[in-house]
Amino acid sequence: MTGSENELKPRSKWLIGVGITLIMAIIGYLIALLPGFSLIGPLGSAIIVAIAYRQIFGYPYAYNSGITFSSKKLLRVAIILYGLRLNINIILGEGLEFMLKDTIVITFAVLTMLGLAKLFKADFKLSLLLGVGTGVCGAAAIAAVAPIIKAKDEDTGISVGIIALVGMIFSIGYILLRPVLDISNNEYGAWSGMSLHELAHVALAAEPAGNNALAIALLAKLGRVLLLIPLCFIIVYFVRRYQKRSAPGDVQVQFPWFLLGFVLMSLINTYIIGQVIFIPETVISKVYDLSTFLLTMAMVGLGLNVSLKDLRTKAFKPLLAMIIVSVGLSMLAFLMI
């Protein structure tokens, strides 16, 4: 075998690994077109495909480099691009009241989740990921916090899968409850935006109440997304503090540089696009789609690391705690609308 062939072989394996996540992401999108699966969405559907593949065929270790690239590098790119969804002026101008309520929501979700995890003796990192995903913005929040706390890929993958499933169930529950609740459509939108897990879940639940309700719901939800930034830095602080106590002189916490990219994209969307330069709405929409697709590829990479056999007992207690937190969060948000 020649030297060039030796050099090409790892690159080919890398390409195949990335290709695996690409193909499974496409399959996830196609499955999401089917009745029922459309409620779960492409990201949740792709996670299911990846987890099912792992259980049937095992993990494709030969192509690990490409799969890891998708689950780590593409994940950060997706989060950076996610910042283009934020208009800071709108949130700070029209959503200051929501920002205060969103802060209460996130604090409740994270602290209650950690309290229940301690009570149930559940896995701490998995519980923290679910708490952050429940309180902030689902998969994107989990993906942002996972490298900070050095969570295992399988924990990140199973957290995203749980968030997708539970969020979908709650969204349908909200739609069924809306006709019997003694609240206005706008109040219903605010309730959905302050308490549901993913942006997609918020949109799914609020859309039947009309465009105004949907706009209010997304405003409330985007306030939670904005609060992901300070939350991550708070977590960095506590992780460093914990490591100083447990291993003095050996404090190594990965700084979430990709969050600076997230902030930069938010600033560009707020102060440059539409003011300094004009970018057609169709182009912005395509960038949104790209960020979602890259995030889906990343979730496939994480899903391939999930062994249901290993996590059968590990995930049950965090799941139970998350359901309790989600119910409590819905009640708290309802009282604040």
Beta bridge partners of 273: 277
pTM, to two decimals: 0.78
> What is the predicted pLDDT for the residue at 161?
82
What's the whole-number mean pLDDT along residues 276-292?
88
Question: Which residues, at least 6 apart from 271, have a Cβ–Cβ distance to it below 8 Å?
Answer: 89
> What is the predicted pLDDT for the residue at 4?
46
Q: What is the dihedral of CA 112, 83, 222, 273, to 10 degrees?
A: 170
> What is the predicted pLDDT for the residue at 311?
65
pLDDT tens digit sequence for 123-163: 999 999 999 999 998 888 998 899 889 898 888 888 888 88
> What is the predicted pLDDT for the residue at 23?
97
Distance, in Å, from the CA atom of 45 to the CA atom of 164, rounded to the nearest integer, reads: 9
What DSSP designation does 72 have? I
pLDDT tens digit sequence for 175-196: 889 989 999 999 999 999 999 9
What DSSP designation does 273 have? B
Distances (CA, A) of 123 to 22, 53, 90, 166, 176: 31, 25, 38, 19, 33
Distances (CA, A) of 35 to 31, 38, 49, 244: 9, 6, 16, 51
